[in-house]
Chains A and B, each alone.
Chain A
Amino acid sequence: MPNRYPVATVDELDENPRALVECDGREIAVFNHEGEYYALSNRCPHQGGPLCEGAITPEIGLDENDWMWTYEDTAVVRCPWHTWEFDLETGVNQSDDRYKVPTHDVEVKNDTVYVVL
Chain B
Amino acid sequence: MNVERIIDADAHVTEHLEDLIPYISDEYDAVRELTDGLSNPRSTIFSACHATPRISPAQLGGSETGTTDRTGGMPAVRTSTDKREEMEQFDIDQGVLSPTLLLALNTVNNPRYAVALANAYNAWLSENFLADNDDLYGSIVVAADRPDLAAEEIDDRARNDSFTSVSLMPGALLPPAGDRKYDPIFDAAQRHDLPVLLHSASSPLTTGLPTVFRYTESYAEGHCLANPMFNIWNMVNMMYRGVPERFPDLDIVFQEAGLAYVPYVKWRMDDIYLELSDEIPLLNKLPSEYIDDQFYFTTQPLGHTAQNARHLSYVIEMVGPDNILYSSDLPHRSFDPPEELLNRVGSQFDEATIQDIMWRNSQHVFGL
Interface residues of B, count at CB 8 A: 23
Within 8 A of B (CB), among A43-99: 47-48, 50, 52-58, 60, 71, 78-83
Distance between Cα atoms of A53 and B63 in the complex (Å): 13
Contact with A along B282-309 (1 / 0, CB 8 A): 0000000000000000000000000000
- A-B CB proximity, top 8 nearest: A55-B57, A55-B66, A57-B63, A80-B70, A57-B60, A53-B68, A53-B66, A53-B67
CB pair B69–A47 under 8 Å, yes or no, is: no
Extra 10 A-B pairs, beta carbons < 8 Å, given A57-B60, A57-B62: A53-B67, A53-B68, A55-B71, A55-B72, A71-B61, A78-B57, A78-B71, A81-B70, A82-B335, A83-B333
Most B Cβ at <10 Å: residue of A17, A33, A55, A78: A55
Could you say which residues of chain B place their CB within 8 Å of the CB of A55?
Answer: 57-58, 63-66, 69, 71-72
11 contacts between A and B (CB under 8 A): A18-B67, A33-B64, A53-B66, A53-B67, A56-B63, A57-B63, A57-B64, A60-B60, A71-B62, A80-B70, A83-B71
A71-B60 contact given A54-B71, A55-B71, A83-B71, CB 8 Å threshold: yes
Of B61, B68, B337, B339, which contacts A80 at CB under 8 A?
A: B68
What is the minimal beta-carbon distance from B72 to any residue of chain A, in angstroms?
7
Binding site for A on B (CB under 8 A): 55, 57-58, 60-72, 333-337, 339-340
What is the minimal beta-carbon distance from B76 to any residue of chain A, in angstroms?
15
B334 to chain A: closest residue by CB: A82
Binding site for B on A (CB under 8 A): 17-18, 33, 47-48, 50, 52-58, 60, 71, 78-83
Could you say which residues of chain B place their CB within 8 Å of the CB of A58?
Answer: 60-63
